[in-house]
Amino acid sequence: MRNVQKFPRINVWDPYRRLGISPDASEEEIWGSRNFLLQQYAGHERSEESIEAAFEKLLMASFIQRRKTKINLKSKLKKKVEESPPWVKNLLNFVELPPPEIILRRLFLFAFMGGWSIMNSAETGPAFQVCFEFLFFSLSFSVWCIPKCIF
């Protein structure tokens, strides 16, 4: 049986100190430290688990930080809209947006009618399909764009 080295910082609570890096370390430095320590203490199961646990804590902290920045971007955009002049708010509130389900249904219907029009246009000409799409579009557009201020 060979003599396996034991990781000296198994019980250190701070993942940065456990991996031997500074809190300002980049992701590459974190990966490098993890790989180096796993190579150095390979064979000792508790040491490997301790190193992996510290690495996973840092990875999860990085993931949570990225998610927070995405959420902050949405809130920042909303904040900019709220701080915008009244005419911009009126413009954004002028058109009522239908639910995504209705938008997807109409998208599918238009795609289907467009494909059908292309397939059948060689036989009789696209006049019927174009007329049908124009009527449907004009009716659906008038339903979409009913201003909120009328009601």
CB within 8 Å of 9: residues ≥ 6 apart: 17, 18, 20, 50
Write down the mean pLDDT value for the chain. Answer: 79
Query: Domain range spanning residue 23?
Result: 15-83
Specify the amino acid at residue 13: W
Does 97 lie in the same domain as 78? no
Does 79 lie in the same domain as 26? yes
Angle at CA of residue 141, ends 140 and 143, nearest 5°: 65
Q: Does residue 108 lie in a domain region?
A: yes
Does 54 lie in the same domain as 110? no
- pLDDT tens digits along 75-131: 776 777 677 788 877 777 777 777 888 888 988 888 887 777 777 766 666 666 677
Q: Cα separation of 134 and 130, whole Å?
A: 6
43: region left, alpha or beta (phi > 0 left; psi from -120 to 50 alpha): left
Q: Does residue 4 lie in a domain region?
A: no
The total number of structural domains that make up the chain? 2
